[in-house]
Structure 1
Amino acid sequence: MLEQLTQIIQQYGSDAVVKNNAIPNEHNDAVLNETGNSIFESLKNLASQNDMSQIAGLLQAKNLDQNNPLVQQITQNVSGSLSEKFGLSQDVSNGAASSMIPQILSSLIGKANDPKDGSFSISDLLGALAGGNTAQNNGIMEAISTYGVHFGLDQNADGKVDLEDAAELSKKGGLAGIFGKLFGK
C-alpha cells in the first residue's frame, strides 16, 4: 500500500514540489515523503475513529469530489505538516498540497475501482490502516465475506459482504458493530 502511494506521490509531486522554486531543492524528497506520511496518517486517524464509511465512500466514488470533507481534511493536514516541518509559508504549503492531493487521491480512486489493476487493493489499505498483519486481515476479511451473509452482515442484500456493507455497519457502531453482529452481541 505504501509503495503504491509513494509511486503516485512521486508521479504527481513533480510539478507541485520539484518544479516549485519556493521549495528548496534539498527538501524535495523529504517533502514528498512527508506528503505520503501525512496522507496515510490522515486516513489512519479516520480509521481509528471507526469511520471507515468515509474512506470507503471516497474510494468507491467514480470521480473525486474536491469538496468532500475528507479530501479537504487531508489537504489541510498535508499543508500544515509541510509548513511546520520545512518552514514553508502557508501559501507555498497550501499550493503544493492543493495541487497534489486531488491528483493523488484521484489516482488511488482509479486504482481501487479498476478490476484490471492489481497494484492497489482495498483490503491492503484496510490492513495498513488497521496496523495489522495483511495476511491475517485478508483472512479475516475472507471469512467475513464468506460467512457474513449468514450473520446478517449483508446490509444491502446483494448476497455478499463487501466494503459497502462494512461502511454501512461502521455507521452503526464501527468495528464493534461488525463483530457484535458476527458474534451475536
Structure 2
Amino acid sequence: MFDELLNLIKQNGQQAVVENNEVPNEHNEAVMQEAQTSIVDGLSNIKEPDQVNSLFESVRSGQAESNPAVQQMTNNFSGNIMQKFGINGSTAASIAAAIIPVVLAKMANRGGQGGASGFDLGGLLGSLTGGKFGGGMGGTTTSSSGGLGGNLGSMGAKLGLDKDGDGDVDLNDLTKMFK
C-alpha cells in the first residue's frame, strides 16, 4: 500500500525533484520519501468522514490549495525538506506545490491517470485509521465511532467511485474501473 503511494509520488515528482538543480541528486529519494511521510501523516490526522470528503472534493475540483489538510501536508513537507536537506524556502514550496496536490488528486481519482491504476485509496485510508474508515471503502465495516466505514463508502459514491451504481464503493466498483 505505502509502496504504491511512493511509486505514485515518484511518477509525479520527477520534474519537481529529480530534474530540479536545487535538489542535490543524493537527496532525490529521501525528498520523495518525505513527501510520502507528509501525505501519510496528513491522512492519518483526518478523524472525520466529512474531512476526507472535503479533502478529496477540493483536490478533484482543483481547489486543493484552499483545503486545510492539503495546506498542512504541503507546509509540513516543505518545512521538512528545508530543514533536513537544506533546500531553500521558495524551492521547497514549489516542490511541495508540485507534488502534494497532484498526488492527492491522483489518489482521489483512484489512479486513473499516470500508470497508477492499481492504487487502493480505501485500503490506504483503512490502514492509516486502523480500519476505522473501512479496508476497501466497502461500507460494511463499522466502528465505535459510528460506522465511519459505511460513511466513507457512501462518500466514495458521491466522489464518482461507485461504478456499479449500487450506492457504495466496493470490490465490484474496483473491477469495473479498470475494464
TM-score range, shorter chain: 0.5 to 0.7
Which residue of structure 1 lines up, in the alignment, with residue 13 of structure 2?
13
Q: Aligned partner of 1:40: which letter?
A: V
Which residue of structure 2 lines up, in the alignment, with residue 59 of structure 1?
56
Query: Taking structure 2 as the reference length, what is the TM-score of the superposition?
Result: 0.67
- Contact 1:75 1:101 (C-alpha < 8 Å) held by counterparts: yes
Change (3 A) 1:13 1:113: closer
- The question of 1:163 aligning with 2:152 is answered yes
- Contact 2:141 2:147 (C-alpha < 8 Å) held by counterparts: no
Alignment identity in percent? 33
| C-alpha displacement of 1:166 | 7.8
| C-alpha displacement of 1:68 | 1.7
Inter-partner Cα distance in structure 2 for 1:83 and 1:162: 38
Which residue of structure 1 lines up, in the alignment, with residue 161 of structure 2?
none
Q: Aligned partner of 1:54: which letter?
A: Q
Change (3 A) 1:153 1:30: closer
Q: Match of 2:23, SS?
A: coil
| C-alpha displacement of 1:55 | 1.9
Which residue of structure 1 lines up, in the alignment, with residue 172 of structure 2?
none
| C-alpha displacement of 1:119 | 2.2
Inter-partner Cα distance in structure 1 for 2:130 and 2:84: 24
Instruction: Identify, as 1 or 2, the structure richer in helix.
Output: 1
Q: Match of 1:111, SS?
A: coil
- Contact 1:59 1:112 (C-alpha < 8 Å) held by counterparts: no
Query: Taking structure 1 as the reference length, what is the TM-score of the superposition?
Result: 0.65
- The question of 1:83 aligning with 2:82 is answered yes
Inter-partner Cα distance in structure 1 for 2:100 and 2:141: 34
Instruction: State the number of aligned residues.
Output: 149
Please identify the structure whose Cα radius of gyration is greater: 1
| C-alpha displacement of 1:133 | 10
Which residue of structure 2 lines up, in the alignment, with residue 142 of structure 1?
140
Change (3 A) 1:24 1:153: closer
Change (3 A) 1:162 1:112: farther
